[in-house]
A and B are shown apart, each in its own frame.
Chain A
Amino acid sequence: MTVDAMRRLPSGDRRPVVLAISLLALGGLALCALRFGLRPTGWGDVWRAFGVFDAGNAEQVVIRAIRLPRLLGAVLAGGALGMAGALMQGMTRNPLADPGLLGVNAGASMGVVLCILLLGVTDPAAFVWVSLGGALIASLLVFLLGGGNKANPARLILAGAAVSALCLALGRAILLVSQQTLDVYRFWVLGGFDGIDLGQIRTLLPFFGAGTIAALAASFWLNALMLGDDAARGLGVRVGAAQALIGLAIVILCGATVAMAGPIAFVGLIVPHLARRVAGADMRWLVLLSASIGALLMVAADLLGRLALFGGNMQAGVMAALVGGPILIWLVRRNGVGAS
């Protein structure tokens, strides 16, 4: 009933309402993510963990040292993937574009595989820099193959597909021959927030921050770019510079996410579609709403994954796809996809 009432308002009025609702829901879900888990804890423990923290209390330590980083990681990853997906779909004018198309995920995976194989690293915390480096190198390669400063979105996607395929094939070949590498990699590639700590988040926070600022700034230019390159130039937008900023925002956001939590599929593809139903054709709202809805979906997926298997702990990346798949089907059936 509330939803129907909201539909009747002009869409300009609905956007702040939906943003506020999604942020409130995120706040509520965040409290649940701190409260519920394998070890039974109460609301009082959550309250005390942040009010009068007692380092000797196991419940409070679990909340602060395990559940909090996990929650922050999910918020950052979901928000970043949502924004990156919105930018990617806007820049390519392709509603099926996924931020991974620029080769970021494949590059990060390659970096991790090589790191395990050559350096024998098994500590997930060390993957942060190699996967970030791999993501940046792969996207640079995609940019150069896509024509350098003559690149256009269609060529970039083709180059991205080629680089991704190459990285994945090489990575698989290595994994086939090295069982030891596979054991470590298998865990990382599922995508999730296990074993994440505040230090990792602190390391990556500047990347998420810079990526978010770039994304919000780019969304303003993207509004003009959506009218076609000529029209955007006529409006005084420097098209090449704007596209470079958008590409940079996508690479930073995805690179930081994959470095933190491994490749997480689907969120970047599906969240902009949900947001677009409310945001309409305004990219500024689309990016904002994609950030909040993405964070919401990711936290929900992580929480569900932790609770559903009674301690079995399903990876958030797997859970996001399990939850996201039916949502995408529902959207397609309601003719929501393609309304870019």
Chain B
Amino acid sequence: MTQSARLVAQGITVSFGQRPVLKDLDVALPTGQLTAIIGPNASGKSTLLRALARLQPVASGQVVLDGKAIHRQGSRAVARKLAILPQSPTAPEGLSVRDLVIRGRTPHQSVLRQWSGADAHAVEQALAATGLAALADRPLDALSGGQRQRAWIAMALAQDTDILLLDEPTTYLDLPHQIELLSLVRALNRDTGRTVATVLHDINLAARFADTILAVRDGAVCLQGPPEQVITEASIQQVFSLPCRVIKDPVHGTPHVIPL
């Protein structure tokens, strides 16, 4: 929050029917950093990410992108600044990796102007950055889970935005693929200075890869800061109601949670 944040939630409240999911929540995504949003199930962390990406209408308060309320900006203009990978996107059968990535260019195209050199360049770059260039012509349904998730991230990359939001990108992946995917996400953040926020379930992976931890409980942000400061035995107890011991990861030096 030291740098001026480009994406800010100001007192947002979201309710599903009677149940309030986010309550008067304030948060700012640190620019240029990799932020991991953690919290127990039904804490509102995915809803927060969706609200930040203007996928979730807010009942009160507002999300501000670059100093202007996000719902007052055209959806296409927002999509050129901010990309989101939702939790369970669907792909039509037989869609190739390249055709999926090309769809990331939608906000840069129009009905009358559907393809440009900039599009081709962004698509090839996104394929290269995710290591999918060799698989570009394969149908998505012929890929492994990890490759498929990388293809979706490549689509979001082709959107060529400064801000990238990911909703539980590691779900359904085994541990090696989770590590591979988060390494990729961190490289994307480090190499281009992109602001990245991702919802994660695994506290230890969040601590290892993220610059900032954002912990959500009962629809409110209860902690925000670097993993070393924020992840403590007391805070994990507070956020997850989980008694634990926190040690220093002997390899990476980051906090490591051992549930008791």
Please report A residues at the B interface, Cβ cutoff 8 Å: 10, 93, 216-217, 220-221, 223-224, 226-228, 230-231, 233-238, 280-282, 284, 338-340
Contact = CB atoms under 8 A, between A and B. Distances in A.
B106 A235 contact: yes
B89 A223 contact: no
A233 B89 contact: no
Contacts of B103: 223-224, 227, 235
Given A227-B91, A228-B86, A233-B75, 19 more contacts: A10-B137, A93-B90, A216-B111, A217-B111, A223-B103, A224-B103, A224-B106, A226-B90, A226-B92, A231-B89, A233-B54, A234-B53, A234-B86, A235-B107, A236-B78, A236-B107, A237-B106, A281-B91, A338-B93
Contacts of A340: 92-93
Nearest to A224: B106
4 tightest A-B CB contacts, nearest first: A236-B79, A230-B86, A236-B107, A236-B76
Contacts of A221: 111
Contact of A281 (B74, B88, B94, B107): B94
A238 B94 contact: no
Chain B, interface residues (CB within 8 Å), range: 35 or more
Nearest to B110: A220
B215 interface: no
Nearest to A234: B84
Interface in B52-68: 53-55
Q: Which of A227, A234, A236, A340 has the most CB atoms of chain B within a 10 A radius of its CB?
A: A234
Nearest to B92: A281
B76 A228 contact: no
Give the dominant DSSP class at A's interface: loop
A237 B79 CA distance: 9
B80 interface: yes
Contacts of B88: 228
Contacts of A224: 103, 106
B76 A230 contact: no
B94 A280 contact: yes
A306 B71 CA distance: 58
A228 B89 contact: yes
B104 interface: yes
Nearest to A230: B86
A281 B55 contact: no
Nearest to A95: B93
Contacts of B90: 93, 226-228, 231
Given A227-B90, A230-B86, A230-B89, A236 B106 contact: yes
B124 interface: no
Contacts of A236: 74-80, 106-107
A226 B90 CA distance: 7
B64 to A, nearest CB: 18
A228 B85 CA distance: 11
A230 B83 CA distance: 11
A157 B42 CA distance: 32
Contacts of A238: 75
A109 B175 CA distance: 60
Contacts of B144: none
B35 interface: no
Residue of B55, B103, B156, B159 with most chain A CB atoms under a 10 A cut-off: B103
B233 interface: no
A231 B87 CA distance: 9
Nearest to A223: B103
B61 to A, nearest CB: 20
A234 B53 CA distance: 7
B95 interface: yes
A234 B163 CA distance: 12
B90 to A, nearest CB: 5
A233 B54 CA distance: 8
Contact of B114 (A220, A233, A339): A220
A245 B128 CA distance: 36
Interface in B123-175: 137, 156, 159
B95 A234 contact: no
Contacts of B77: 236
Nearest to B156: A234
Nearest to A220: B111
B211 interface: no
Nearest to B76: A236
B99 interface: yes
A328 to B, nearest CB: 19
Contacts of B95: 280-281
Contacts of B55: 230, 233-234
B99 A234 contact: no
A302 B85 CA distance: 49
A95 to B, nearest CB: 9
Contacts of B50: 230
A325 to B, nearest CB: 25
A282 B55 CA distance: 25
A317 B186 CA distance: 59
Nearest to A217: B111
A238 B259 CA distance: 45
A333 B99 CA distance: 28
Nearest to A286: B92
Contacts of A338: 93
B160 to A, nearest CB: 12
